[in-house]
Amino acid sequence: MENSSTKLEVGKKITTCKGEHCINIFISYELKEKISQLAKRYDRTMADVVRTLIKIGIPILESLTEAEEKMLVDYIQVLRRWRKVRELKSNEETLT
């Protein structure tokens, strides 16, 4: 038994059920119309257009999310520095 599980991990055999790779989503009529227009303009199926949009959109979304996280961390650091500076100034005023 142990060998078979190791074999699956090393070989990375993927077993899927029918329909497991499929997703259904609800979109607005406007978005559907835009996708339909793109498909007609470039002689593609709507599914091909959606797949391409997802493939292109995932790295963009990941980059945006990473940038937002970095900005948030930087913003928090700036706020903490300002707070320290304000505390130091108030301490100096009380001492003088």
Per residue in 72-95, pLDDT (tens digit) is 999 999 999 999 998 888 888 777
Q: Which residue has the tokens 């980059």?
A: 63
pLDDT at 96: 66
Range of the domain at 90: 2-95
Q: How far apart are CA 80 and CA 77, in angstroms?
A: 5
| Phi, psi for 27 (deg, rounded to 5) | -130, 165
In this prediction the pTM is 0.59
pLDDT at 6: 45
Model confidence pLDDT, tens digit, residues 29-77: 999 999 999 999 999 999 999 999 999 999 999 999 999 999 999 999 9
The total domain count for the chain is 1
